[in-house]
Structure 1
């Protein structure tokens, strides 16, 4: 294997914190905190309501907060070395997280990108890329696409792919729902969404990535018999997934475990009341063996949180 860069210059940091939460950036000279960004959306919603329009009229409700994040030297070297090989050029323009107009994510596009017709697995919110890179290394018979909008996460995924000289993985720095709208029917084998941003405040639940509209687009993109795998360590997000997915058209919950959950939502600040709420039984899945145990998941387990796994198969 020929190396593009000196391996000692791009040493893998085994202690880097990982998360599949989806985050994004503004241009480097525009740093915006998550609280400020969310407050701006809420102000826009108030203005729209006062004008007689729906909340967030004319604005997308995003599952991530746009903020700047500069790359350290190690990750910048990884970006410079591997972006041309692994990062898809499908954005609407510089700084945009939308997919460019007219993109058709179909079998022909996949064949031209990966050079074969192997089944494709897409991970929404790949975080630092440990899971998708490990899966790509373990399964050369499959293709993988990592969707991540946070610069350091993209760069770290590039680093992992490049250091292992993986041929079956690509990365797209786009808003995931926009990519699924560009997908042709039946082009994906599986979709993975592991530990998405929980958006714990009740008023922010609309920002959670698992939503009915995305479920419809994922269903259309999946091959018949394909699956959407979801995992969360937040109990209220587990209830949210059940509400969106258990009765979603074209999906079947194939979980075999019985899990008891509150049947009413709680948010940040009153989550401690969940145990006193009425509960009901739901079906969930065993832990997906194809998901590596990342630092993020380890921290959730160490904090005493229960991991909820879901498998929804297309029917």
Structure 2
């Protein structure tokens, strides 16, 4: 057995996100403070984005109807949570964990999960890369990253989530046969992603190298995506399988 440390755990990586002040509505605020919604908020009481005690996502579902061995999806940066909750409601036998840094979105997502009585949703506040570094290998069945910040200025490209360093960390936590699914409405970022991902060891493009995947039915279309399509903007999906 090799005793070499996994180098991906020790790479210092700049943040891929910038926390923005946005309005928090009453429902979101209620979900962040009312014990009725506490079951959805994994680290709400641990301070702002403290991930120190999260080393296993499956045990979060031990006492739920699905249990800890059900198929597991992690969504990175779910925004306000509308499509994330829609997907969780559509697949009740699959467990869903969402990670986000913006509290209004975290609160709204928890509120929607609670009002729909979902039992297959957990929400984490914090940096997805830090979380992924702490998780076991071959841990997650699907990881999804929808419409990440494209960081359009060249000097900010280092902040783009899809990079060789970050994808090495992400691939490690995926199960063999598991999926990484991403989508963007920024053409430059789309071709950036396919170039990076086609060259990540251990990942295979389901559509073939250099190709994009037709939008899958299971990914809900957001109002922003629909508005963009109406204006003639493109949307590009990519799905990669871990070998």
Find the partner of 2:39 among 51, 75, 85: 85
Kept in 2: contact 1:190–1:227 (CA 8 A) = yes
Counterpart position of 1:273: none
Shift of 1:107: 4.6
Q: Which residue of 1 aligns with 2:25?
A: 72
Alignment of 1:1-315 (within 5 A): 60-81=13-34, 82-89=36-43, 93-95=46-48, 97-100=49-52, 103-105=54-56, 107-108=58-59, 111=62, 115-255=67-207, 282-315=210-243
1:111 deviation in Å?
3.1
Q: SS where residue 181 of structure 2 aligns?
A: strand
Checking the alignment, whether the CA contact within 8 Å between 2:204 and 2:242 is kept in structure 1 is yes
Provide the secondary structure at the position in 1 that maps to 2:98.
strand
Q: Aligned partners of 1:285, 1:62: CA distance in 2, in Å?
A: 28
> 1:128 is paired with a residue of what secondary structure?
coil
Contact 1:136 1:169 in 2 (8 A): yes
Q: Residues 175 and 112 (structure 1 numbering): CA distance in 2 closer, same or farther, change over 3 Å? A: farther
5+ residue gaps in structure 2?
1-11
Q: Is the 8 A contact 1:75 1:152 kept in 2?
A: yes
Moved more, 298-307 or 68-77: 68-77
Q: CA deviation at 1:112?
A: 5.8
Residue 136 and residue 292 in structure 1: after superposition, are their counterparts in 2 closer, same or farther (change >3 A)? same
Residue 306 of structure 1 aligns to a residue whose secondary structure is coil
Q: 1:111 to 1:123 in 2, by over 3 A?
A: same
Contact 1:90 1:99 in 2 (8 A): no
TM-score norm. by structure 1 comes to: 0.68
Instruction: Give the Cα separation in 1 of the matches to 2:78 and 2:59.
Output: 24
- Tell me the equivalent position of 2:5: none
RMSD: 2.3
- Give how far 1:305 is off: 1.2
Is the CA contact (8 Å cut-off) linking 1:106 and 1:184 kept in structure 2? no
Larger RCO: Structure 1 or Structure 2 (Cα < 8 Å, ≥ 6 residues apart)? Answer: 2
Q: CA deviation at 1:70?
A: 4.9
Any gaps of 5 or more consecutive residues in structure 1? 1-58, 257-280
Contact 1:186 1:222 in 2 (8 A): yes
CA distance in 2, matches of 1:314, 1:127: 26
Deviation at 1:302, TM superposition (A): 2.4
Structure number with greater Rg is 1
Task: State the match for 1:55 in structure 2.
Answer: none
Cα distance change, pair 230–236 in 1 and its aligned pair in 2 (3 A)? same
- Pairs aligned (count): 231
Contact 1:98-1:178 within 8 A present in 2 as well: no
